[in-house]
Amino acid sequence: MTDPRKLPQILYIEDSDEARSLVRRLLSHKYVVLEAIDPLNGLQLAEETQPSLILVDYSLPHMTGNEAATRLKKMLPDTPIVIVSGDLSVGARERALAAGAVGFISKPIDADFIELVDAYLNGKVEILEDAEKYLQAYQQELVERLEGNIRQLSTTVEKNKHLLQQNERMFSMLERRHKLLETAARVGQMVTSILAIDDLLKHTVNIICSEFNLYYSGIFLVSEDEEWAVLRAGYAAAGRKMMSENYRLHVDEKSMIGNSIIKQQAQIALDVAGEESRFMNPFLPNTRSEMALPLIVQSHALGALTVQSDQLNAFTEEDVTSLQAMADQIAIAINNAQLMFKLEAATAEIVRTKTFEAIATATGEAIHWVGNKAAPIPGSIKRVREDMLYILALAAQFVPNDSDAENASLTGAVQTVREEAQAIGIDLDQVLAEMSAMKKNRLQALVSVESLMEDLEIAENSAVTILSIKEGLIGPARQRNDAVVSLSEMIADTVANMGLPDGVVELDWAADMPNAFVDARQVEQVFNNLIKNSWEAMAKTTAPKIYVKWNA
């Protein structure tokens, strides 16, 4: 058998899978065929493997076969290169030879292909007559391709330059938006924990001006008659001055604040000097740009937030999304603070009444929900019971061969089924008779394991849902109420209240056992469960003993 390592290597550079497969099939019996799907990979593979012969297809991506032959000839001057081409135009063969190839094989590949490869591998070189003429033609071809590549590269560079400029603008815009969103989220997080309405509004305007480096910020809330937008908080000295004078604006389209409340949309003035809808505020003479953002909760405008800068064009349309997200969080915080104020203003009797109503409603809904989830269980259990009767009747008919010792236990089990069924009043013979009278389709449906498992699954899911509802109802009772607790006293009291026989539980800890900061009720329940489970686990023990120890 021929050692493959001693066979000549032929590299075929071709982007067509079919062509490579054909050449591989023709040559692999006597040569090691290496393959590359494009000229760049072919150049690298040729340099790494130093093949005995290189076949190059003319039509390749990125460069022609002639160009690849020129590169390969310079890289491997002693390696014969053959162009394989379907170009039968005048001068195609000569241009290939001028590029550095020793031969030219026309496509489609025919029966002479193997002989031609053998000949080129053994030193055949086609002679190029009038070489200078064709060399100049080939050089002209290279120049034209180079010029075309340069034009293409120049166009690509211009496109990339334009795309780079667009990307830079986009990155700058995204960076600004990211910073705005990040700052807006931080502001929203800061204000949502404040529930006193006056403190909330004052801190909000201060935080906004500080975080966004703004000239002024103010919050207007709509009056009860919904005719006025009343300034409830303003930044710095100007804000305090306006607050002292009960500054307010009509809720109409004559001001940016009124406009934003009515339309529930942000209003922007990039140059306040040219905005007719903006009220010229004498308290804020340096304002150059302003944005009014509605404070909306559940489609209801509570008021508006004004943010102002002493720079022209300080805000963009893209900023609306980021700042409106912040305004929405502020609106929720204001709404929560207002609700808290109203709740605190209510009398204890009203609070108690509302609490009982809520409990009654929740309990009624829970009972109704439990009823809905429990409803499928009886029907499923009834169908399971019927299915079990049919399956038992069928199983009871199974009579193994008594002579088979291995089936003796099965025979006993069948007899036990019959006896137990008879003992509880089930006539399996009658059930079987009813089944025999049924139609085939009906009988198959009755003994369906899939139907049986489906009914069991319905019952199981309903039970799980009911248990989940139970957990949801008692969940609030599990809220922690941590305090300093003496574990020794608590555990001793727990054991004493369980009513276990004297001496069953032995407590062992040092007198200086430290206190713990825990929820006494929950920890007491934990120890109660542990001791109870231990006691139940030793139900059959003649001298049960439970040890509760603490080691420092």
Q: Summarize pLDDT for 408-464 with one digit per residue, the tens.
A: 666 677 777 777 877 887 887 787 777 777 777 766 666 667 777 777 787 777 777
Assigned domain for 168 exists: no
**Structure confidence at residue 54 as a pLDDT band (50, 70, 90):** very high
**Strand boundaries in 86-174, DSSP class E:** 103-106
Q: Which long-range contacts (CB under 8 A, 24 or more apart) does 428-433 make?
A: 428/389, 428/392, 428/393, 428/396, 429/393, 431/389, 431/390, 431/392, 431/393, 432/393, 432/394, 432/396, 432/397
Higher-pLDDT residue of 365 and 117 is 117
> Which CATH number does the domain housing residue 212 bear?
3.30.450.40
**Phi and psi at residue 443, in whole multiples of 5°?**
-65, -40
Domain boundary residue, one of 475, 490, 519 = 475
pTM: 0.37
Least Cα distance to 285 among 348, 226, 237, 334 occurs for 237
Assigned domain for 179 exists: no
> Which CATH number does the domain housing residue 514 bear?
3.30.565.10
Are both 251 and 327 inside the same structural domain?
yes
Are both 36 and 76 inside the same structural domain?
yes
Least Cα distance to 51 among 90, 13, 22, 100 occurs for 13
Tokens of 106: 């026309």
Are both 387 and 502 inside the same structural domain?
no
Tokens of 339: 């609700």
Are both 190 and 333 inside the same structural domain?
yes
C-alpha to C-alpha distance for 282 and 287, rounded to whole angstroms? 10
Least Cα distance to 480 among 516, 521, 515 occurs for 521
Tokens of 125: 């070189």
Least Cα distance to 87 among 96, 99, 100, 76 occurs for 96
Total domain count for the chain? 4
C-alpha to C-alpha distance for 95 and 134, rounded to whole angstroms? 6
Which residue in the block uniquely carries the two structure tokens 């705005």?
A: 180
Averaged pLDDT for residues 150-172: 71
Distance of CA 17 to the CA centre of its chain: 40
SS (H, E, C) 240-289: HHHHHCCCEEECCCCCHHHHHHHHCCCEEECCHHHCCCCCCCCCCCCCCE
Assigned domain for 169 exists: no
Q: Interior CA angle at 257 toward 269 and 207, to 5°?
A: 85
Are both 391 and 422 inside the same structural domain?
yes
* Residue 10 scores a pLDDT above 90: yes
Domain boundary residue, one of 295, 324, 344 = 344
pLDDT tens, position by position, 65-87 = 999 999 999 999 999 999 999 88
Distance of CA 237 to the CA centre of its chain: 48
Are both 402 and 487 inside the same structural domain?
no
* pLDDT at position 49: 94
C-alpha to C-alpha distance for 105 and 124, rounded to whole angstroms? 13
CB-based contact 488:524 (threshold 8 Å): no
Are both 193 and 280 inside the same structural domain?
yes
Are both 334 and 387 inside the same structural domain?
no
Q: Interior CA angle at 205 toward 201 and 206, to 5°?
A: 115
pLDDT tens, position by position, 189-198 = 777 777 788 8
Are both 203 and 244 inside the same structural domain?
yes
Assigned domain for 142 exists: no
Are both 404 and 269 inside the same structural domain?
no
* pLDDT at position 17: 94
Domain boundary residue, one of 87, 107, 129 = 129
Task: Using DSSP bridges, classify how beta strands 228-234 and 516-518 pair: parallel, antiparallel or unpaired.
Answer: unpaired
Q: Interior CA angle at 256 toward 253 and 257, to 5°?
A: 95
User: What SS3 class is residue 293?
Assistant: strand
Assigned domain for 227 exists: yes
Assigned domain for 148 exists: no
For the chain, what is the radius of gyration of the CA atoms? 46
Assigned domain for 359 exists: no
**Structure confidence at residue 401 as a pLDDT band (50, 70, 90):** low
Are both 62 and 201 inside the same structural domain?
no
pLDDT tens, position by position, 507-516 = 888 888 888 8
Tokens of 120: 């080129």
User: What SS3 class is residue 435?
Assistant: helix
Whole-number Cα distances in Å, 195 to 133, 218, 239, 412: 93, 18, 21, 76
Question: Where in the sequence is the domain holding 495, given as residue range(s)?
Answer: 480-549
Assigned domain for 170 exists: no
C-alpha to C-alpha distance for 261 and 251, rounded to whole angstroms? 7
* pLDDT at position 88: 83
Are both 200 and 253 inside the same structural domain?
yes
